[in-house]
Structure 1
Amino acid sequence: MKVDKAWGRALALMVLLAPCGVLAYPAPALDPSLPASTVPPAIQDLRRKMNDADVNALTFRDMDQLFTTRTVARSGPVWELPRSNHALDFTYSFKGQRYTADQFLERTYTNALLILKDGRIVSEVYRNNTDAATRLMGWSMTKSITSILIGCAVQEGRIKSLDDRITQYLPELKGGGYDGATIRQVLQMRSGVDYEERYDFANPGIAARNHELALVENVVRFADAARTVKRAHAPGEVWQYKTLDTAVLGWLLERVSGGSTIAAYAAQRLWEPLGAERDGFFIMDGQPGVGREFNGAGFNATPRDYARIGLMMLQDGQANGHQIVPAAWVQESTKATGGPGPGYGYQWWIPNDHAFQAIGLQGQYIFVDRATRTVVVKLSYFPPENQEAHDETAAFMAAASAWTPR
């Protein structure tokens, strides 16, 4: 797989900025127009520091200690993944130097790495006191999971057409920036709303303010910013990465699922038929009865269960004896429609014509290559704003995809 350097740089920028690529920052002044936060000050402070390089190897695998969570329950038989263990006996090239796969693990801040070839686990590595039962934060890989759930809702007829306007299902958004945008345009990050994914807390914009109030203080709901956001471009005209778009898709799932929650719908339509081996969970933007799942970047699962998602997508929606999402949806959602370089599909990154990937902040990946029938899951703890680790990971993914275990 050839790595497009310009695309890699553009993608790295998006990964680093969204949704919470921030260093620790002091608590802002209280807004007297909002209710007082019930989150203890010490927990708020930890949330502001959770991405920092000196703690994120730990925080990224203990999000249930920092946030209220909602479980995505597993049930039924586990989808057993056959195994044929192999040493990582290949190398990769980066910046004119050649490195072993074992060197890659430390060089790119790896907590866990899992490689499947033709549906079989060929390598599984856990580091920093993680193991097969550890549930790690997926950050914006959650966007790709949201895309799968939208596909399920379309299949069930809960969403009649992707070309329906989002306000047909969420009339609360009429009169604002989302009025006129279709569900398809929101999936493609082409809603046109004025929501710059910038987290400068010294000069906070709409995204930084939403992060602080919804995820740190829990005094507003993350998706509610969609009610008042303005329009920057006509819907469909401009691709711009926005976690708010995915939050609106989560709100849509709530609405069409008949009074259910995103977590309950995910359990029923994805996690149970997938044959997950452990419960997953979403972090919440508030307490039960008030908060919503942070479906833009808040899902946590084990590496093997992330691998099951990748394998299901590789198999055109089939997993554990079930057709979880239609094959046509898999093909459509992983086809480039915009974004940097080769592009971005329906909440999936598309590096070339035979691969696609879910990517999360600071080094979380589900990489799928159709040509070599490879799935790679990497859960990491990149330092904030570390583009080099992302670029090196792209080089490793290309080598891992080309590798033939012997």
Structure 2
Amino acid sequence: MLFRVHSFISVKSFRQSVLFGMIALTVYSCMPIQAYRYIVPDEQDVYRFKYETVKHADTCFEFKKVPVKKSFEVANWTSKVPLIKLPLDQFLKEQKTKYFVVIKNDSILYEYTDRKIKKYNPVPSFSISKSFVSACLGIAIQQGYIGSVNDRVTDYLPELNYHKNFESLTINHLLNQKSGIRMRVPNVADAYYGKVENVLPYIYFDHKPGEHFEYININYTLLGLIIERTTKQDLHKYFSDNIWSKIGTCDSAVWGYDYKTKHTRAIGCFAGSARDYAKFGMLYLNNGSWKGNQLIDSNWVKQSITPVNSLGENVGYNNSWFIGEKEVGDYMALGMYRQQIYINPENNVVIVSLMKFNKENLDLRWWQILRQVTEQTKSN
């Protein structure tokens, strides 16, 4: 892609910048020591740091499993390796996949689980949680807690008054990664591992709001604070009450929580099961409705899957959703290390993939891979 996405693409360069910033952090910051050791997120964070439970549904929705007529295959799409058709099981094993599930019409057509996994533990989804925050924002607007995405951020975070760019910064700029805010190492460390509100006095700008797209975590830290202040609920509880507990989720889930300042860590730190992530995908597939109950305004869903930022390679971005070509109409929630909730409305398909870190899979053309799998659901 032709843009900077700090949370799940530029891992190597990010680690290098962290090393240069470590001495300054030690001198000037009051961060917990684990923040320096684990400043780049990984799948163990959910066990290292404090979290709150996200309540699942009282009644578990179970997908039907249907036999398939033909085994799934996939071509190994990269810019370096010739196309080689592989059984999907083999391909996923090579990519160090933990879970992969294909759902069509409320039925599981295919499901893969790493054989090394002996029992269920919540699986981190990294920046997929940003799509959860986006959904919560739409509901908070629908419920009247927030006026609109065009409201100024200072209407809700008045302490942000020390730079002229705050005067024009809107919720929509945060939501669509066009805030112009500079990403600094202390912001990452505090937002992910330290006191969430510590980021507020140290926000700097590289651009005027609305002029430049740059995917950074601080934008969603601010959105999480806005939702919590207006609803007077922790973000994880607001999400559970309005979405997670209402879509038939079955398994235990957790969300990172700052107990010192009492804030949910909006930028990531969520962990759950592949099947439950798929239910969130189905909620969007059905325009915000779950089994006849309209949980998210359908207009918010439709607006969210219409691209407003062009990211190159025929991919768009809006409200924390990555959006494919208009002709295909697919879109996905995307997290670090290729955690993905892929939605293909034309074929009524939701695919969830949850990977271990594997730098080779970053080069794969995942849109094409997931479309190949989707195409094969037609004959199954």
Q: TM-score, normalised by structure 2?
A: 0.87
Q: Deviations over 1:330-362 (max 9, x none)?
A: 110111111412310011111222011111111
Q: Is the 8 A contact 1:18 1:140 kept in 2?
A: no
The total of aligned residue pairs comes to 367
Q: In the TM superposition, what is the alpha-carbon distance from 1:212 to its structure 2 partner?
A: 3.5
- For residue 348 of structure 2, the aligned residue among 373, 398, 401 is 373
Distance 2:142 2:22 in 1: 44
Match for residue 175 of structure 2? Answer: 187
Task: Name which of 160, 169, 173 aligns with 2:160.
Answer: 173
Q: How does 1:239-250 map to 2 (within 5 A)?
A: 239-250=213-224
CA distance in 1, matches of 2:202, 2:21: 24
C-alpha contact (below 8 Å) 1:74/1:276 kept by paired residues: yes
AA partner of residue 318 (structure 2): G
Matched, 1:47 2:38: yes
Separation in 1, partners of 2:223, 2:114: 34
1:135–1:405 Cα change, 3 Å? farther
**Paired amino acid for 2:265:** F
In the alignment, is residue 344 of structure 1 matched against residue 317 of structure 2?
Answer: yes
CA distance in 2 between partners of 1:81 and 1:21 (Å)? 39
Give the C-alpha shift of residue 180 in structure 1: 1.6
Among residues 235, 238, 243, which one is paired with 1:270 in the alignment? 243
1:397 CA displacement: 0.7
CA 1:402–1:109 in 2, change beyond 3 Å: closer, same or farther? same
User: Following TM superposition, by how much is the alpha carbon of 1:118 offset from its aligned partner in structure 2, in angstroms?
Assistant: 2.2
Conservation of the 8 A alpha-carbon contact between 1:19 and 1:140: no
Following superposition of structure 1 onto structure 2, how do residues 5-24 of structure 1 map, counting pairs within 5 Å? Answer: 7=1, 10=3, 15-17=8-10, 22=15
Is 2:187 the counterpart of 1:210? Answer: yes
Asked whether the equivalents of residues 187 and 218 of structure 2 are also in contact (C-alpha less than 8 Å), the reply is: no
Instruction: Determine the structure 1 residue equivalent to 2:84.
Output: 98
C-alpha displacement of 1:289:
4.1
- Which residue number corresponds to residue 332 of structure 2? 357
> Cα distance 1:343–1:65, how it changes in 2: closer, same or farther (>3 A)?
same
The answer to whether the Cα contact below 8 Å between 1:178 and 1:226 also exists between their aligned partners in 2 is: no
1:283 aligns with 2:266: no
1:130 maps to amino acid: I
What is the rounded CA distance, in whole Å, between the counterparts of 1:279 and 1:312 in structure 2? Answer: 19
String of CA shifts for 1:235-270, please: whole Å, max 9, x gaps.
222211111111111011101112x10111011111
Distance in structure 1 (CA, Å) of the matches to 2:361 and 2:3: 13
- AA in 2 matched with 1:210: N
Amino acid corresponding to residue 158 of structure 1 in structure 2: Y
Is the partner of 1:399 in helix, strand or coil? Answer: helix
Q: 2:225 aligns with which of 232, 251, 256?
A: 251
1:227 to partner: Cα distance: 3.5
Instruction: State the Cα RMSD in Å.
Output: 2.8
Secondary structure of the structure 1 residue equivalent to 2:324: strand
Give deviations 1:297-316, integer Å, cap 9, x for gaps: 21111001100011111011
1:366 maps to a residue whose letter is: I
Q: Deviations over 1:264-293 (max 9, x none)?
A: 101111111112112321123x4x242522
The 3 A distance-change label for structure 1 pair 292 and 12 is closer
Measure how far apart 1:80 and its partner are: 2.8
Distance change in 2, residues 1:190/1:370 (3 Å): same
Cross-structure match for 1:302: 273
Query: Would the alpha carbon gap of residues 182 and 18 (structure 1) be closer, same or farther in structure 2, given more than 3 Å must change?
Result: farther
Structure 1 residues 130, 234: CA separation in 2 closer, same or farther (over 3 Å shift)? same
Structure 2 contact 138–300 (Cα < 8 Å) conserved: yes
Instruction: Kindly provide the amino acid, as one letter, of the partner of residue 211 in structure 2.
Output: E
Percent of aligned positions that are identical: 21
Consecutive unaligned residues of structure 1, counting only runs of 5 or more, are 1-6, 52-59, 196-205
Moved more, 320-329 or 289-298: 289-298
Distance 2:135 2:35 in 1: 32
Residue by residue, what CA displacement relative to the aligned partner does 1:143-172 show, whole Å, maximum 9, x if unpaired? 111111111111111111111111111112
Structure 2 residue matching 1:359: 3-state secondary structure = strand
Deviation at 1:114, TM superposition (A): 0.6
